[in-house]
A and B are shown apart, each in its own frame.
Chain A
Amino acid sequence: MKILVTVKRVEDPEAKIKVKPDGTGIVTEGINYKVNPFDEIAVEEGLRLRDAHGGEVVIVSCGSEASTTEVRSALAMGADRGILVKTDQTLDPDAVARILVKLVEQESPDLVIMGKQAVDDDQNQAGQRFAQYMGWGQATQASKRANLESEDEKARKPGLVISGETVEVTREVDGGLEDVRLKLPALVSADLRLNLPRYASLPGIMKAKKKPFQNLTPEELGVDITPKITAKRFLSPPMRQAGEMVPDVPTLIKKLAEEAKAI
C-alpha cells in the first residue's frame, strides 16, 4: 500500500521563544528547528504499516527550502521518497489542506497520516480540512490500547489495523478511547501514545541523501495559498504574578470574590 505522511518544520519546543519587539513574529535567530514531534509519530506508524503490508512511504512537507532537512530526517528514519512543496509565504491550515488535495490527486495514496497538530501554532486543522475536501473518512488523535512499554511496541507492531479495504483506529477522546473503522483511503492523525518513533540510524542518514526527492511549488500544483487567516500581532504572555498564602478558607473565598472576581 502507498502511505503519504506529512512532516512540518517547527521551532524546537525546548527553545526559549522570544517575540520580536515590533510584534510581527518571533525571533528566529539562534533557534533550532526540528520535525514536529507528532509528525515523527506519524512517520513511524507509516513505516510500521509498510513493513507489515509492503508498499511505500512518501514524505510530504510544505514550507521554505529549509524544510528539506525535515523531509530528509523522515527519509533517514526509513521512508522511501520525499516531496517538498516549496514556498516562503506563511501557510495557513486551509492552504496546506488544499496543497495536500492536489498532491493526493497525483499520488493516489491508500492512507494519509499526519501529526494531530504542529507544536508551533497548535492549530490542529489541516488534517480535518483535507479529509473534508477529499470526502474521506477521518480518524484524528490516533492512539492504541497497548501501552508504550508493551512487547507489541518493542516489536514495532503497528497501532493501526489494516484489513482489506478498511483501517481500524483507536482514538483518544475525552475520558477514554474510542474505536472507529474507516474505509480506505482515509486520513489518520497521530496522537502522542500511538508509538515511540525510532531513531534515524547513521547508515539511514547517509542513505537518505540518495533517496528520490521532488521539489514542487504551490503554483505548479495550481493552489492559491493566499492566507485566509493572518496573524495581526504577536505578544508574550503576561508575567505570572507571585502567589499569595492565605490563612484560612473564608479569606480565600473573600479574595476570590473581591480581588480576583472569580466567584
Chain B
Amino acid sequence: MIDDVLPGGGFLVANVPIGKIFSREHFSDTQKEFADVTTKFMQNEVIPKAEALEDKPLEGDLPVMVSLLREVGELGLLSVDLPEEHDGLGQDKSTASIIAEHLFGCPSFATTVGAHAGIGTLPISFFGTEEQKARWLPKLGTAELVSCYALTEPGAGSDALSGRTTAIAKEDGKHFLISGEKQFITNGAWADIAIVFAQVEGKYTAFIVELDSKGVSRGLEEKKMGIKGSSTTSLVFDEVEVPVENMLGKPGMAPQIALNILNLGRLKLGFGALGNCKYAIDLSLEYASTRKQFGQPIAYFDLQKGRLADMIANTFALDALAYRLSGDIDAALANLEKDDSYAKRTIDTFRAYALECAIVKVVGAETLQKLLNDGIRLHGGYGFLNEYKLEMLARDNVIDSIYEGTNDINRLTIFDGLARNILGGGFPFRQFMETIDADLRNGRICRLSAEGPLAAPIADCMAAKRVVAYTVNQALIQCGKGIKTEQQVMELVADMLIAVSKMDSTVARAQEIIGGKDAQRNSAAMAIADYVCRRGAQTITTNALDVLDSVVPQGQRKINQANLATLIGCLDRTVDIVRVRRIIADAAIEAGAYQF
C-alpha cells in the first residue's frame, strides 16, 4: 500500500489517510464565521418563509425568492469563489463548500442559489474571456442579474450532449441565430441570462444569452413534487440573435464546459445534502427528546436510538467524504501557478476528481433520502404533516437523485473512472493486485495489523480495499470490453467503491476527533468508525459475491470463491452493532444536537 492518494479512485490502493485529510476540525476562524453568518441568515430569513415560498410569492413585482437571492448576494455568499479582480472574494473550494453546506433548511432556496451561482456563473468564471468576466461576473456576484444553465432538452436528458438546439452564424459575421428548446431550466422564470448550449455546424458550443432578447419565450412553471419554491420552466429560442462575443470558449467546447461544471455541481449537491442531514437530525433529536409515549421520551426507546444512530453515523461519513474531497481539490489547486492556463488546469483538476465528486453526490442524495425516511417514521403521524418540516425536505430531496446527473449515471461515472484509471495506470493498481495475488498464492493473507485506538477500523479498511480490488479486477478481466453492457455489475462495483470510500474517510476523520476532552464524544466517534466499517463490510461482501458469481465462468469459479472467501475472512471482525448504535445515540441525546 502507498501513502499517496491519487485522484480518480487512488484511495483504493492507498493507506487510510490518517492525519492527512481536511475536515471540519481544520476550519479557519474566517471559515467558521462564514458558516455562522450563512446559518444565521437561513434561520432568520429563509427557513421561516420556506413553506410560503412554495407558492412563489411576489414582493411588488419581484419574486421573494429573487429578493432573498439579492440579500445573500449583498452578504457576499454568491461571490465567495469568484476571482477578486471581478469583485469576488477569491476563496477556495472548501470555503465555498462550507457555504453550500450551511444553506440548509430550504432546498428550494439552495437550488435557486446553486443554479445561479454554481452552474449559471462558474462557466463564465472558468471559460469566459477577460471581457466576458468583467462584464458579467460583478453583476452575477450580487445577483443584480440572475443566471441559469440551459443544457437539458426534451430529447437530451442523461444523454446531455445530444441537444438539437442550433446556432447559425449570420452573414454579418457578428451574430449567431439560436433556435431550439431547453427544458427543466432552474430559475427559468426569473433569470436574466442563460448559459445556453447549441450546435454550431455540428459542434456543441456554449453561449451567454440575454433572456430579454427578441425570440426568447419562457414556458409555464412546471408543477413539481418538490423544490416547489424554485422556478423550473422551459426556454424556447426562436432565431434569437446573439452577438459572437457572447460565445463561451470555442466552438465544440460544450462537453468540456458542461461535464466539468457538473463535477463542481455534484460536489456542492453533496454539501447541500449534508447541511440538511444535520438539520433533520437536530429536528428529530428535539422531537424524540420531548415527545413522550408510554411515560418517557421516545428517544429512550432502543428502536429509536438505533434509528438516530443510523442517521448520525451516515451523516458523519458524508461529512468526512465531502470535506476530504474539497480539501484534496484545494490542495491540488494550490499547487497550480496562476498563469494564463490556470482556469484550464483548474478544470483539469476537477476532471481528475470526477469519480470522487460523483461519490459525494450519490452519498449525499441517498444519505439524506434514507435519513428523512427514518426521521419521518420517528416523528410518527406528525412527520406526515407539513408543519414538522421533514415532509417538505423529503419531497425536496427526491430531485437530489435526479439532477446534476442521475444517481444511476453517477454510478456509471464512478465505475468508468475507476476502470479507466486501472487500465490506464492512473494509480498503481497493478502493483496492489500483484501483492494480493502473491499473498493469496502463498497463503499469507491474514488480517492486517494497524496501530492506535482506531487499529481495528483501519484494518477493516485495508481488508475492504483488497476485496474491492480483487472483485473489480475479476470483473474487468472476465468481461473485457463486454463490461460496457454489464451495467448491473458496474453498479455493484460502484457501490463497493462508495462503501470503501465512506469507511476510509470516516476512520481518518474519527482520528481527528478522538483526542478531544469530551470522553463521551470521543467514544461516539469511535463507535461511528465501527458502525461505518461494519455496514461497509456488509455491502462489500454481498456485492463481491454477486459480481463474481455473475462474471466468473463455471470453470474458474472454485478458485475465485476460495480467494474471495480468504479475503472476506479478514473483513468479518466482531462488532456488536446494537451496542455501537446505543453509544452513538446516547451521546447525541446527551448533547441535544448533532455534535460532529
Chain A contact residues, CB within 8 Å of chain B = 16, 29-30, 69, 72-73, 76, 199-206, 209
Contacts and interface: CB of A to CB of B under 8 A. Distances in A.
B76 A201 contact: yes
Contacts of A203: 76, 89
A104 to B, nearest CB: 29
Contacts of A200: 33, 37
Nearest to B516: A29
B518 A29 contact: yes
Interface in B25-79: 29-30, 33-34, 37, 40-41, 74-77
A76 B30 CA distance: 11
Main secondary structure of the interface of B (DSSP, over half): helix
B518 A30 contact: yes
A202 B77 contact: yes
B517 interface: yes
Nearest to A32: B36
Contacts of B30: 205-206, 209
Given A30-B518, A209-B30, A202 B595 contact: no
14 contacts: A16-B592, A29-B517, A30-B521, A72-B29, A199-B40, A199-B75, A200-B33, A201-B37, A201-B75, A202-B34, A202-B37, A204-B76, A206-B30, A206-B89
A87 to B, nearest CB: 22
B80 interface: yes
Nearest to A29: B518
Contacts of A69: 29
A202 B80 contact: yes
Interface of B: 29-30, 33-34, 37, 40-41, 74-77, 80, 89, 517-518, 521, 591-592, 595
A72 B34 CA distance: 13
Contact of B37 (A16, A72, A205, A209): A205
Contacts of A29: 517-518
Contacts of B37: 199-202, 205
A189 B443 CA distance: 79
A61 to B, nearest CB: 16
Contacts of A16: 592
A76 B34 CA distance: 11
Shortest beta-carbon contacts, A-B, top 9: A202-B76, A16-B592, A201-B75, A205-B33, A201-B76, A203-B76, A199-B37, A200-B37, A29-B518
Contact of A73 (B33, B521, B595): B33
B18 to A, nearest CB: 25
A63 to B, nearest CB: 17
A201 B34 CA distance: 8
A202 B29 contact: no
Nearest to A202: B76
A200 B30 CA distance: 12
B518 A199 contact: no
A199 B41 contact: yes
Nearest to B44: A199
Contacts of B75: 199, 201-202
A206 B77 CA distance: 13
Contacts of A202: 34, 37, 75-77, 80, 89
A195 to B, nearest CB: 14
A201 B142 CA distance: 12
Contacts of A73: 33
Contacts of A201: 37, 74-76
A30 B34 CA distance: 20
Contacts of B77: 202
A76 B41 contact: no
A3 B595 CA distance: 39
Contacts of B517: 29
